[in-house]
Amino acid sequence: MKKQMILLFFICLGLTTTTEAQKFYIRGGAGFGISATPEIFVYQNVERDPSSGDRIKQTTISGSFGSGPTFRLGGGYMITEYFGIDLEFYYLHGMKQDFGSTSQDGIYTRKTTGRTIQARMSPSLIVKAPAGTKFAPYAKFGVVLPFVGKQYLETEQEIQHTDPTYINYKKVVEIDGAFSVGFESAVGLQYNITEKFGVYLEMMYTGLRVKAAKGAITQEQFFNEDGSVKQDNLEGRPVGLSEFRFVDELSTDNSNMNSTAAAGEGISYKILPNPNGYDDSKPLDIPAQNSNYSAFGLNLGVKYGF
């Protein structure tokens, strides 16, 4: 279905070169999205007993990475008075998403948050009220293709204890996504101030999942009380302990795996031993995963027709 939508878009683009009823327009605006269809994460919020350190409470968390402000620029052709094609580019600056924490009252709190930045392209078909209508409702439906972006997972530990064995800590993991295609639709209302210039308000739904391709630990440091770096854990660390790639299948025949390295990165699965040996000059192979970027959004902007 997604391939058919893309094909239909380019067919329509070709038609505009031979259709006399062309009308080109450009538009720009901004919006904000909130998470839709949140899903339960594998990580949880954990509370530990202040004395023993044993787990006393564990809370499930859920969400998606699609919330945040967007900044948009696009344009299109009206093939007929009612029907056209639209191409929009926009940037999503994702809001921080709770991604699990561990706390021991009076001693420490360790919390992980996730966020994303993405540049996307969205080709779509548009159906609207005829020209000359002061208030012109319209609808769009098409696909969304992220072409640049990263997901950031940041873990920070804050100490509330005078014990010198506990120190502040920060770790940042950056994840690159594989090529992904989602669905996007919107309904809106345009107010035509003049024949060529108008403003619009639209409600949008984005349905998107992005599969992880590769990742790397870009920061892992311990800090003194004054904020200076006490220890940088990335110094001298081999590639196999700082970079990883996501694979659909782990096999003793062709995967670069190391059970000690995997456990050290907090990966909670039983990893296969590799009888062919582990090459720490290459990224670690770990099971593939994907993230939910679905969102409901509200966009406001201006439009100019030629």
- Residue 97 pLDDT: 86
- In angstroms, the CA 284 to CA 173 distance is 14
Question: pLDDT tens for residues 155-200?
Answer: 888 877 666 666 788 999 999 999 999 999 999 999 999 888 999 9
Question: pTM for this structure?
Answer: 0.80
Cβ(125)–Cβ(185) under 8 Å?
no
Instruction: Give the residue among 13, 143, 32, 19 at the shortest CA–CA distance from 81.
Output: 19
- In angstroms, the CA 181 to CA 306 distance is 31
Helix (H) or strand (E) holding 15, with range, is helix 2-15
Q: How many CB atoms lie within 10 A of CB 3?
A: 9
Question: pLDDT tens for residues 44-74?
Answer: 788 888 887 788 888 888 888 999 999 999 9
Question: pLDDT tens for residues 99-137?
Answer: 888 888 878 888 888 899 999 999 999 999 876 788 999
Domain residue ranges in the chain = 2-248+288-305
Question: pLDDT tens for residues 222-240?
Answer: 888 778 888 898 888 888 8
Long-range contacts made by residues 222-231, C-beta under 8 angstroms, separation at least 24?
Answer: 222/167, 222/168, 222/169, 223/167, 223/168, 223/169, 223/170, 224/167, 224/168, 225/168, 230/167
- In angstroms, the CA 128 to CA 131 distance is 9
Burial of 61 (0-12, 13-18, 19+ CB in 10 A): middle
Residue pointed to by tokens 């993405």: 118
pLDDT of residue 19 exceeding 50, the answer is no
Q: CATH code for 2-248+288-305?
A: 2.40.160.20
Question: pLDDT tens for residues 239-248?
Answer: 888 898 888 8
Structure tokens at 189: 């209302």
Q: Provide the percentage of residues in the chain whose pLDDT is more than 90.
A: 42
pLDDT of residue 253 exceeding 80, the answer is no
Q: Provide the percentage of residues in the chain whose pLDDT is more than 70.
A: 81
Based on its alpha-carbon atoms, the radius of gyration of the chain, rounded to whole angstroms, reads: 24
